[in-house]
Structure 1
Amino acid sequence: MPGDSTRRRGAALEADILDAVWEELAEVGYARLTMEGVAARARTGKQVLYRRWANRAELVKAAMPHRTGFLADQLPDTGDLREDVLAVLRLMVERQREIGPDVIRGLLAEAHELDPKVFGIMHDILLTLLQRAVGRGEIPTADLPRRVVTVPAQLLRYEMILSRDPVADSALVGIVDDVYLPLLRGHG
């Protein structure tokens, strides 16, 4: 209503909407989450949501850092490539625990509806780790094909799809020790 001093706008409205996403997910799960349900819970119109997010996958993706923070802001720097990559994978698993496997699987199933830039985030994170490793002399180059850079994240996503439970740490160690580090040495 015009002149209504309680009308929410901008950051306050967005925070209420993103909180409503998590409340709705907790109550109905990803499969039954709707823009209408989130709008009703946030006490706003669904057109407000559609102005900001094209679909529920985009909405849930936006709500994730609102709840867990940005992965890029938690970038490890242990001084060792193996430990850095394991730390990133462990952060991804911790997010899976916090967010829930239902939501992760739902988002992965609707990945085609997400902005392709979303998938560049893990590339950038892993490339940063590789560039640091080059600086420390652990690997000869970070100039690698995009698929090679993102192998650990892609393998972990695959494990997340297949597992009802959070991925075991032994699987993360296997991804790094049995696949990623040998792959990087082969490209060196």
Structure 2
Amino acid sequence: MSTGTRRRGGALEAAIYEAVFAQLEEVGYRKLTMEGIAGAARTGKAALYRRWQSKEDLVSDALRHALPNPPPRPATGSVRRDLLATLTCLRDTLVTCRGAAFKVLKEESADGKGLIHDVIRARISQPVREALYEALEQGAARGEVRPAAVTRKVANVGPALIVYDHLTEGGTMDDAQLAELVDDILLPMLRP
């Protein structure tokens, strides 16, 4: 690369993060290498190793950069709208990082522990589950949800179906599919 087109700072970092997601999509986490990321980003491995000691550190930073802030707590006054808003946030997160977060979790380790797991849990999994649980509590207080359905397991059903669909079907649910998930699966489980 000539010095006239050399990227630095934010431009180089953006190219590296983009390369991380492209490589995760192409080869998966287990086959992901610093060399492969450097090649995809059109930079040298030394540029990566100056900032990140391992692929785990690099993938964690890429996820922190790409993942949106946790979803806001539901407050629409309707359990249906609250569920849709929170599940849409989860779906959009999958789109933002090309599903890499969940692919990494699937491949990272058998025990589900590690830096990447912690990042995904803090930025996606836990906030989404908490927002959904709170939506169920508020729905029960309004009489839209039967009290026995206000459980953490029930709150996990929507995210589990979205992640399962993403991992097995390889695509992303569109708005109509999300509405079907809420209307045909979740709301019948919740009704008084």
Shorter-chain TM-score above 0.5: yes
Structure 1 SS opposite 2:147: coil
TM-score, normalised to structure 1's length? 0.65
Alpha-carbon shift at residue 80 of structure 1 (Å): 0.8
1:132 matches 2:131: no
Task: Verify the 8 A CA contact 1:81 1:133 in the aligned structure 2.
Answer: yes
1:148 matches 2:146: no
1:168 matches 2:163: no
Read off the aligned partner of 1:158 and give its amino acid letter.
Answer: Y
1:139-173 deviation line (CA, Å, top 9, x unaligned): 24377332212111101111111223321223212
In structure 2, stretches of 5+ residues that fail to align are 1-8, 39-43
1:43 matches 2:38: no
Separation in 2, partners of 1:81, 1:110? 34
Q: 1:151 to 1:62 in 2, by over 3 A?
A: farther
TM-score, normalised to structure 2's length? 0.64
Structure 2 SS opposite 1:110: helix
Separation in 2, partners of 1:132, 1:61? 34
| Residue of structure 1 in register with 2:82 after alignment | 84
1:100 matches 2:106: no
1:67 matches 2:73: no
In structure 1, stretches of 5+ residues that fail to align are 1-12
1:70-99 deviation line (CA, Å, top 9, x unaligned): 233x44422211111111122222222222
Separation in 2, partners of 1:117, 1:64? 8
Alpha-carbon shift at residue 49 of structure 1 (Å): 4.0
Alpha-carbon shift at residue 60 of structure 1 (Å): 3.3
What's the Cα RMSD here?
Answer: 3.7
Separation in 1, partners of 2:45, 2:78? 46
